[in-house]
């Protein structure tokens, strides 16, 4: 399928597919005789996994660090992205992202508390 069809099937845009390819998250697709990108169901599934991981709060940079795990998740959708081994690259990435999210929650909680005190809504 062409890029527009693949993007629609994956719930994204052609621009996102090109971006994922540039970042190394999506392998370069085959090309038609006229040079148009051609995608199959495997690429669409991979893009869905990428988008799912991004929706969970991981970043493109996080995914670059665990790009080898993306195919595992594509092959087995129910699989966990971080195994039991706390030293695995995927576990390190997930732990780091959880720490960033926790820090942001703490920051927002303090900000909310200050605003509530300042406005008499404590």
Q: What is the pLDDT of residue 1?
A: 95
pLDDT (0 to 100) of residue 82 = 54
pLDDT along the chain (122 residues), means of 10: 97 97 95 95 96 95 91 80 69 93 98 95 80
* pLDDT at residue 83, as a whole number: 57
Max Cα distance, the chain (Å): 68
Contact yes or no for 37/75 (Cβ under 8 A) = no
**Which single residue is written with the structure tokens 């995914």?**
63
Confidence at residue 89, expressed as pLDDT on a 0 to 100 scale: 83
């Amino acid at each position: 399928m062409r890029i527009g069809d693949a993007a629609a099937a994956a719930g994204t845009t052609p621009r996102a597919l090109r971006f994922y390819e540039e970042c190394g998250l999506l392998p370069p697709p085959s090309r038609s005789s006229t040079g148009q990108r051609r995608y199959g169901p495997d690429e669409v599934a991979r893009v869905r996994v990428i988008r799912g991981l991004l929706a969970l709060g991981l970043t493109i940079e996080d995914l670059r660090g665990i790009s080898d795990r993306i195919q595992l998740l594509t092959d087995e959708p129910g699989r966990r992205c971080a195994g039991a081994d706390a030293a695995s690259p995927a576990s390190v990435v997930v732990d780091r992202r959880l720490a960033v999210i926790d820090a942001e929650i703490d920051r927002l909680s303090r900000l909310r508390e200050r605003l509530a005190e300042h406005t008499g809504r404590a």
